Structure 1
Amino acid sequence: MTLSPTAADPAGERLPAPTCLDDVKGWFFPVDQVLFDWFLGRQQELTEPGDLLEIGAYMGKSAIFAGGYLRPGETFTVCDLFDSPAQDDANSAEMRYSYSTLTRRSFEANYLSFHDELPAVVQGLSSLVPDRVAASSVRFAHIDGSHLYEHVRGDIDSARALLHPHGIVALDDYRSEHCPGVAAAVWAAVATGGLNPVCVTGTKLYGTWGDPGPVREALLEFLAGREDLWHGVEAVAGGQLVRIKPKGAVTTPPHPVSRHLPEEPAPEAVPEQPPVPAQAPPAPAAVRRRSPLRRFALNVLPPFVSKGFVRLRTALRHQA
């Protein structure tokens, strides 16, 4: 599928093609980029099988990043309402407030700026995902859809059914004050739903319904070598949870490369200068020769006599 290098929002505004991941709108912060890279990279090193899933894509920033870890034969499923009706008043109001410029065309144009093929796109409610994704087939799921408790609880239940036993789920907005329904659903899953938290950042909780011990120990070993990330371990709901936050600027892993790299400015043409004509070498200064009489006066006569002779000769020359 080929799209033009630009997309349009619902107002019809032309959006420039992204030349790097930072050009894509979204809230995918550096510390979470490091953790996505670590979890997905570790799964590749251990050759853990499974597909990828994202619920809530916005303009595609985190999907573009995660798509770089898709292996041959795997499927990446992305679900979002995009321009579809939300089918309930509360969800529709949230869509109008938070995502008024969201369109499927913008997401697809952004994604294809970095990857050759689109993911499997499910346009509609996240309740459609279990019908499109096989149970226990997913190794990494990113849940960043609705902020309403009922929908988030449903997304978490879906993730539990779809994840492989070793799978990791990243849950966004688990503590944000503007969406308490997400926090209620996430911590309920930890307290009573069998979700084992591995770590938290300022915006996301990462957990598993499998054994969190090996992955947590490997994560702590990784964090011990990072001078740009602070971490600490907390006891939560009978288990341990690693807290992570940045210490100054965070070094992010390599981003997918856009096919719309900015063009380097052409070097400015230097105007040709007219050739400078060669100058003839200066003529040698004329050598003034003294007359034999003057040389005799200077060399033989006493100084006071020779000086008087020179003055007399000069005065006579000027009168001539």
Structure 2
Amino acid sequence: MQFPDRSTTPGGDELPRPARLDDVKGWFRPVDQLLFDWFLGHQRDHGHAGDLLELGAYLGKSAIFMGSYLRPGEEFTVCDLWDSPAPDASNSAEMDRSYATLTRRAFEANYLSFHDELPHLVQAPTSVITSRVRAAGCRFVHIDASHLYEHVHGDIRAAERLLTPEGVVVFDDFRAEHCPGVAAAVWGAVATAGLTPLCITGTKLYGTWGDPARVRAELLGWLRTRTDLWHGVEEVAGAPLIRIDGRRAEAPEHPRSRHRAEPVTDGAGADRSAPAPAAGPAPAPPHRRTGTPRVRRLVRDLLPPLLTRALVRTFRRST
């Protein structure tokens, strides 16, 4: 199945396609990419079958990553409001503040840059998801939708119902200062609803309602082999919790795009005037790239964001 380098909005405007996962706007840190890869790979290696589910997709960065782990006979469902009206005033205010330019068409263009088919898309509040996905059918659920307590509480109840007995749920922004409702709902589920946290990173909590012993032990074994990840174990709510510092994490190999194009950032404000880049020269010899990831990390850590983006673009053109 062939896709053009550019698709169009319903109004006929072109949307450029991203050439790399890093070109897709969104928040998905290397440490969490490594953990998604480990948990989804662990399920594959142990014959744990089931569907994938993402609640809240933004422009598709983590969905693109998850879609690479879909196996024959499984279904991937993504639920998001995108450009639909929010179900209540509080959610509407949150959408206007943080996701005003989010459109389904941009998500689709991004996703189809890396995969042959779209996942099953549910454009609706996440409160409908238990009527769209079979109970006890999902092996992996990623929750990154509304940050309001009552909505997150509902998403947690839905995940418990939809996960297989050994399934894993991941919560984004469980500790961020701008969304205390997520923290309250997630830790409330740990205290009162049987959710067992397996590990935490700076932005995400990974948990299960199943028996955590084997997966925790094997995760610790893997972490001991990683020189780019610090980890420690702390007793929390009567169970060991693995804390992971991924500031030096090296991301796994990303899904590869079929396109060389500018990123799709949204459906309204993206720069559509620039043509798709022409095919570049042959890859540089390995010695040209030596040290580049370290330089980029230093740039990201030390310089202001606007200058960082300009320098990163310069690095990309030169490598």
TM-score class, shorter: 0.7 to 0.9
Cα–Cα, structure 1 residues 90 and 119, in superposed 2: closer, same or farther, change >3 Å?
A: same
Q: Is the 8 A contact 1:4 1:109 kept in 2?
A: no
After superposition, the C-alpha distances for 1:216-250 in whole angstroms (9 at most, x for unaligned) are 000000000000000000110111100001253x2
Corresponding residue for residue 202 of structure 2: 202
After TM superposition, the structure 1 = structure 2 runs for residues 224-235 of structure 1, keeping only pairs within 5 Å, are: 224-235=224-235
Which amino acid in the other structure matches residue 264 of structure 1? A
Corresponding residue for residue 293 of structure 2: none
Name structure 2 gaps, 5 residues minimum: 261-276, 283-319
Q: Is the 8 A contact 1:194 1:209 kept in 2?
A: yes
After TM superposition, the structure 1 = structure 2 runs for residues 1-320 of structure 1, keeping only pairs within 5 Å, are: 5-6=5-6, 15-248=15-248, 250-261=249-260, 263-265=278-280
Cα–Cα, structure 1 residues 90 and 10, in superposed 2: closer, same or farther, change >3 Å?
A: farther
Give me the CA root mean square deviation: 2.0
After superposition, the C-alpha distances for 1:104-131 in whole angstroms (9 at most, x for unaligned) are 0000000000000000000010011100
Residue 91 of structure 1 aligns to a residue whose secondary structure is helix
Give the CA deviation at 1:63. 0.2
Cα–Cα, structure 1 residues 82 and 227, in superposed 2: closer, same or farther, change >3 Å?
A: same
Cα–Cα, structure 1 residues 23 and 118, in superposed 2: closer, same or farther, change >3 Å?
A: same
Structure 1 stretches of at least 4 aligned residues deviating more than 6 Å after TM superposition:
8-13
Mapped partners of 1:43, 1:128: distance in 2: 27
Give the CA deviation at 1:263. 4.2
Q: Is the 8 A contact 1:10 1:102 kept in 2?
A: no
Identity %: 64
Report the number of matched residues. 266
Which amino acid in the other structure matches residue 186 of structure 2? V
Q: Is the 8 A contact 1:33 1:252 kept in 2?
A: yes
Q: Is the 8 A contact 2:15 2:109 kept in 1?
A: no
Give the CA deviation at 1:266. 6.1
Q: Is the 8 A contact 1:227 1:247 kept in 2?
A: no
Q: Which has the higher contact order (CA 8 A, sep 6+)?
A: 2
Q: Is the 8 A contact 1:7 1:105 kept in 2?
A: no
Name structure 1 gaps, 5 residues minimum: 268-320
Give the CA deviation at 1:17. 1.1
